[in-house]
Amino acid sequence: MWSKGELLGMGEIVPGATVVGIVYDNGVILGADRRAAYGTFVIGKSVKKIFQITPRIGLASAGLISDVQTIVRELNYHARMFKYNTSREITAKALSKLLSNILFANRLFPLITQTLIGGFTFDAHGIYVLDALGSVIEDKYAAAGSGTEIALGILEAEYRDGMNKSEAKNLALKAIRTALERDSASGNGIDLLIIDRAGTVEENYPG
């Protein structure tokens, strides 16, 4: 398998994925495909790319598998320590700023990821988009990975404010499935993480 240095130096070897995030009236939806591919080589067909960090915050990430797993371990640790020290859950906005600091601190040897954090900040809910160097952008919908352009085309055309959970779920599935049809580095099914005021649930769908 290639080292990170080799991956950075070979333009044709880039991590493949399609992940999306959508804000709806009572929560957020994060979705991702299950294929892990470097260039034209598929290294996994059941790779997890969405993670629940707290009961009200989730993460979806496209990038090098090792770097994604490193980020998840770091955020899980800091979220647990925050709750231990303060007796309350960390907010989605605070967690995104924490990840921004982690990514920026590693900017000379970057964690090769594009990450979406979705969830609740007190009574508000939103999606935060982070690149490998720690930039943070809050938005109502977003996509990341090699299927970004295709998925964003669907989201841009069909997203609207005030969508309900069913509408947002159908849009997330449509955006990812459309990307799967054209992006060979994405595929092998879809995982959704739905973070709602009533609770959080993970769902799985065929591609």
Question: Can you tell me the distance from the alpha carbon of 136 to that of 188, in angstroms, rounded to the nearest whole number?
Answer: 29
Sheet containing strand 19-24, edge to edge, reads 141-144, 19-24, 27-33, 190-196, 199-205
Catalytic, out of 18, 54, 91, 121: 18
Whether 148 is catalytic: no
The strand order across the sheet containing 113-121 reads: 50-54, 57-63, 113-121, 124-130, 136-139
Positions marked catalytic: 18
